[in-house]
Chain A
Amino acid sequence: MMSMQSIYLLIPLLPLLAAAIVGLANHALPRWYAHVLTIAGVAGSFALSVMVFLDVLQGHTYNGTVYTWLVSGNINFEVGFLIDQLSATMMLVVTFVSLMVHIYTIGYMHEDAGYRRFFSYISLFTFSMLMLVMSNNFMQLFFGWEAVGLVSYLLIGFWFTRPSAIYANLKAFLVNRVGDFGFLLGIGMVLYFMGSLDYATVFERAPALADSTVSVIPHQHWSLLTMTCLLLFVGAMGKSAQVPLHVWLPDSMEGPTPISALIHAATMVTAGIFMVARMSPLFELSDVALSTVMVIGAITALFMGFLGIIQNDIKRVVAYSTLSQLGYMTVALGASAYSVAMFHLMTHAFFKALLFLGAGSVIMGMHHDQDIRHMGGLSKYMKITWLTSLIGSLALIGTPFLSGFYSKDSIIEAVKLSHLSGSGFAYFAVLAGVFVTAFYSFRMYFLVFHGKERWRDLHHDAHGHDDHDEHHGLAPDQNPHEQPWVVTLPLVLLAIPSLAIGYLTIQPMLFGDWFAQVIYINQEAHPVMHHLAEDFHGASAMAIHALTSLPFILALSGVFCAWLFYMQMPQIPAAIHQRCRPLVAILENKYGFDSFNEKFFAAGSRLLGGKLWQTGDVTVIDGWLVNGTARLVGLLSGVVRRLQSGLIYHYAFAMIIGVFLLLTLFMKV
């Protein structure tokens, strides 16, 4: 029997090993090695994660250092694991979704030239994400944080010959840099003021600093912890795509669909949520930070949902839905309902991965046409995809008894109970978001799976070329077909938790003592969870009660509107489109974030860079300093060499002068 410590070590290392072998050997190994090795690695770490989870259920947690990288002064840079309920849950989610995506990829990528590279990347991603969640210190957290960012960058630009993919991965990279800069500053503040990078030590020392202030600008005193928390949250905003750092996530859909499911929906983007939950002892000490978190989350939840309504690319609809759901989680964090956020994170991981993989299956069925306006009636041809996508959509909109219902309803209740400033707006936003979510989800569902088979009316020009990477789509006389088992099996396996996991785990996760040791809540200041528990009378009772509640009615009306607009009377959306031109324009421009960034930040920094290059580099540095020095030295050199006249009496004279010089300087009579 292995010791638990070596199991902990194996969990991240198995995928790393697989990634290294597949990535480095690349074409030296047969193609099937790529998926066999990586799936074996991830399956191994999933199995071990289950073991660890069961062990944690017994109450065995672990916090220890595995390896000391370097010691500098009093600061230790270490690799260490903190295995508790929080990380065990995340490990389970990450490895399970990752395993599903690995299997699915066999089908999705089987024609792609970068097959091995892709498997290597997603295994590397699994390693990085596990390092992030298992960390017991900020240094390793940051390592994992950056590593997942790197893999995400590589995967968004996976099809690196497409200009749009390169644009998208650069954008993701730059926007994340903004977030990571804040995050790094936050870590720097933690290190500077608390003198440690170790979670436990930092959390222990934090309460003593609750009243300290720092003054960054003279005469301005800011609360130390508020500032630290806000900076850390900037990191979370980047990674978890909160307004205004959300702009990269929709574009990240340029990557292959499996990674949209794994990285940009289920796991990596939730790293910010996980991080804030992990830092609950810090965030609990600052009401300002919590309010900010809540408001930012509420804005993201509602306004990104609106954008989902007007998207026509199937993956972008799901992407905006992800943004909106991440907003929900953030709102829960702001309401001090960390466990609810984690709960939603978990349920969302399952149904959103399901929706993405379903979308991928549809895309394959449509021969890589992603426009939902070209689809319709697919339920006839792709039964499993249809059913599982329906389950995913129902879970997403919060149908009672399904997993999304429990988590989302808990969030809405928690916000309702919160008394922090901004909670009123947040409550409105999450409530309105329910309708919006239902509307865009079922708009997509109806357009894809029901109604007319619209691709038959399309005129395809230049069809039949065999470049897999290009969007081409179905010919009018072709039928979409269901995908092989490697694609449908993950759909089915993900549909099961999407249906049931909420019902099964709400009791222990939210109201039991599952997270009690891990997440710290200041009960007196933020009694949200306490009140929530008082109102909870079992999972079934909650679902039945919800049938008469406002959120359910909103969701139902959202579905009804979508059915009415897109199935029965397609003239209504067209009419709205006509009447509300300015509103539609705002939505189509995504509130102008992109063009603002493009015009202000991108053009501004290009302008600044150009000016600095012109004046600073070309004129001052190159012109004066570099070439100027060179010219001066050359000139000097030409003069000095003339001193070497070749005449011996000049030489002797120089020596005598030298002696005189020394004598005059050093003789003190």
Chain B
Amino acid sequence: MNALQIDLISALPELFVLTMAMVVLLLDLFIKPGARGVIDSMTQLTLLGAAYLTMTTASQGVGYAFSGMFVDDTLADVLKLMIYVSTAITLVYSREYLIQRHMYRGEFFALVLFAVAGMMIMVSGAHFLSIYMGLELLSLSLYALVALDRDNARATEAAMKYFVLGALASGMLLYGMSMLYGATGSLNLREISSSLMESSEHHSVLVLGLVFVVAGIAFKLGAVPFQMWVPDVYHGSPTAVTLFIGAVSKLSGFAFVVRLLAQGLDVLAVDWQGMLLIMAVLSIALGNVTAIAQTNLKRMLAYSTISHVGFLLLGIMSASMNGFASAMFYITAYVMMSLAGFGMILLLSRKGFEADKLDDLKGLNQRSPWFAFMMLITMFSMAGVPPTLGFYAKFTVLQSALQAGFIGVVIFAVLMAVIGAFYYLRIVKLMYFDEPKDNTPIKSSTQMKTVLSINALALLLFGLMPQSLMSLCAYAISHSLQ
């Protein structure tokens, strides 16, 4: 291991995305303000190219780079592809919103690409340092993205809070990592795992480190009690950025948990199971209950995210292949649902109008029956009504928790999901049974309308045929975790 092994082939997609991010940044200087579409297209092409590269490296099996700090396995490949797709969808949804608010600039695309690169590194991290580096690259890009509309007081406030609290969380994470390093003598996840397997002395130091690492993870995911930033940031950010944080970045959050807890600290499962259990229960309860009192759609979705994170943790907490696979299924479903949900806000918003109040959805059925139906599918899916994707996501997660023996928690989660159904169905009620407040016709590009429709219909389609997605998740998990 001492010999320097820089096997760059495995990290080719990351290098490509990073390079392109810089190209975009530079190119933006030479492009006239009216021709920003070029940058947009380039970003999309970058994602396409990265997808192609990921596919080619995927066929070569598991590969390591940078002396084992970086791993390219099935899980990484699948998650990366999901990141590309959801980022591409985000960009489609965001275009008009950004143009109307004068944010359609090179910085946005460069920051998005840097964030994507950060996520890719997190997803492929096999070492505390690489994971941390990816996390910071992602986080810094996100802080900047939140503050992109820099004259907006609410956005700057959100960015500030996000940054300060993020720094605190990073500090905790690093502190935890250093404890674990002290106890095991390594930063490499595989080595940590095998060293823990051999001896479990210094148990209290390990748990101390574990608590801090878990706190860092929980902050990233937005689990109670580390969720405080979520509503403010979701609410304060430009909706396009909220979409990116709320949907795409959660994929890396999932990878973050799986890499650290399932791959590196699997021996300590008994300890982190309990921690995740507490956070899962609190998140589900707090998320669902607080969401009821919200009048702002973005805030409501923020609390809904918190409760979804609770369900995600429920899957991970099972600490079994089945549990990880169902958690991966859940996060995929969640990303698709939030893309559709925030996409709908973006669709309805126009110049000078955010469409982020619950009241703005009133009578949507009269304004556009088709998109009211799409929103209906999305809300049903979020509430977990069969036969939508959200139902199967909840179902598999609860099933694996049940197999792991957490009957009480499962019952509690189901009851809370019933409470949660209230605020999702309230939106359906507003759309179908209330009079519209304004009758401005919904104007948007065909591209966006098509993608949004496909997005929402996919929730129904995968709900009817969840098998393919489920087996993909199970395959990725079982081929990457031992």
**Contact surface of A with B, Cβ cutoff 8 Å:** 629-630, 633-634, 636-638, 640-641, 644, 646, 648, 650-652, 654-655, 657-659, 661-663, 665-669
Contact = CB atoms under 8 A, between A and B. Distances in A.
B168 to A, nearest CB: 6
Contacts of B271: 666
B208 A667 contact: yes
Given A646-B232, A661-B225, A640 B215 contact: no
A468 to B, nearest CB: 44
Contact of A667 (B204, B219, B278, B422): B204
B290 A637 contact: yes
A444 to B, nearest CB: 60
Contacts of B231: 644
Q: Which 7 A-B pairs have the closest CB atoms?
A: A651-B228, A658-B225, A637-B293, A637-B292, A662-B211, A641-B293, A640-B290
Contact of A655 (B215, B232, B286): B215
Contact of B211 (A630, A646, A659): A659
Interface of B: 160-161, 164-165, 168-169, 172, 203-204, 207-208, 210-212, 214-215, 218-219, 224-226, 228-229, 231-232, 271, 274-275, 278, 286, 289-294, 419, 422
B211 A654 contact: no
A662 B165 contact: no
Nearest to A652: B168
B225 A633 contact: no
Nearest to B160: A648
B168 A655 contact: yes
B211 A638 contact: no
B289 A637 contact: yes
Nearest to B271: A666
A633 B228 contact: no
B165 A640 contact: no
Contact of A659 (B164, B172, B274): B172
A668 B228 contact: no
Contacts of B215: 655, 658-659, 662
Contacts of A634: 292-293
Given A652-B164, A663-B211, A636 B275 contact: no
A221 B231 CA distance: 67
A648 B211 contact: no
A410 to B, nearest CB: 60
Interface-centre pick from B218, B225, B226, B291 (highest chain A CB count, 10 A): B225
B282 to A, nearest CB: 9
Given A633-B292, A637-B290, A655 B219 contact: yes
A651 B229 contact: yes
A23 to B, nearest CB: 30
Given A648-B161, A662-B214, A662-B215, A655 B293 contact: no
A630 B219 CA distance: 30
Contacts of B168: 652, 655
10 contacts: A641-B294, A651-B228, A654-B226, A655-B228, A658-B218, A659-B172, A665-B278, A666-B275, A667-B204, A669-B204
Contacts of A666: 207, 210-211, 271, 274-275
Given A659-B172, A666-B271, A636 B289 contact: yes
A652 B278 contact: no
Contacts of A652: 164-165, 168
A566 to B, nearest CB: 67
Contact of A657 (B211, B212, B219, B225): B225
B274 A665 contact: yes
Contacts of B291: 637
B204 A659 contact: no
Nearest to A641: B293
Contacts of A637: 289-293
Contacts of B226: 654-655, 658
Given A634-B292, A640-B290, A655-B215, A667 B228 contact: no
Given A637-B289, A637-B290, A640-B293, 10 more contacts: A640-B289, A648-B165, A654-B225, A655-B168, A655-B172, A655-B215, A658-B215, A659-B212, A662-B211, A669-B204
A9 B294 CA distance: 62
Nearest to A660: B211
A634 B291 CA distance: 10
Interface-centre pick from A634, A638, A651 (highest chain B CB count, 10 A): A651
A650 B165 CA distance: 11
Contacts of B293: 634, 637-638, 640-641
A668 B203 CA distance: 9
B274 A663 contact: no
Nearest to B293: A637
B292 A655 contact: no
Contacts of B275: 662, 665-666
Interface-centre pick from A634, A646, A655 (highest chain B CB count, 10 A): A655
A644 B289 contact: no
A662 B218 CA distance: 12
A275 B115 CA distance: 75
A637 B295 CA distance: 12
Nearest to B164: A648
A658 B282 CA distance: 11
Contacts of A667: 204, 207-208, 211
Contacts of B274: 665-666
Contacts of B210: 666
A573 to B, nearest CB: 67
A655 B204 contact: no
B394 to A, nearest CB: 19
A668 B292 contact: no
A642 to B, nearest CB: 10
A655 B211 contact: no
A633 B289 contact: yes
A388 B422 CA distance: 69
B303 to A, nearest CB: 9
A638 B295 CA distance: 12
Nearest to B268: A666
Given A633-B289, A634-B292, A662 B278 contact: yes
A472 to B, nearest CB: 49
Given A663-B211, A666-B207, A644 B228 contact: yes
A656 B278 CA distance: 16
A627 to B, nearest CB: 13
Contact of B419 (A633, A668, A669): A633
B278 A641 contact: no
B98 to A, nearest CB: 27
A638 B289 CA distance: 9
Nearest to A653: B228
Contacts of A641: 290, 293-294
B253 to A, nearest CB: 17
A669 B208 CA distance: 11
Nearest to A629: B419
Contacts of A668: 203-204, 207
A641 B169 CA distance: 23
Interface-centre pick from B211, B212, B286, B291 (highest chain A CB count, 10 A): B211
Contacts of B208: 663, 667
B119 to A, nearest CB: 23
A433 to B, nearest CB: 59
Nearest to B219: A655
A663 B219 CA distance: 16
Contacts of B207: 666-668
Nearest to A655: B226
A651 B290 contact: no
A578 B204 CA distance: 104
Contacts of B289: 633, 636-637, 640
Contacts of A633: 289, 292, 419, 422
Contacts of A644: 228, 231-232, 290
Nearest to B286: A640
Interface-centre pick from A644, A646, A652 (highest chain B CB count, 10 A): A644
A587 to B, nearest CB: 57
Nearest to B423: A637
A667 B168 CA distance: 22
Contacts of B169: 655
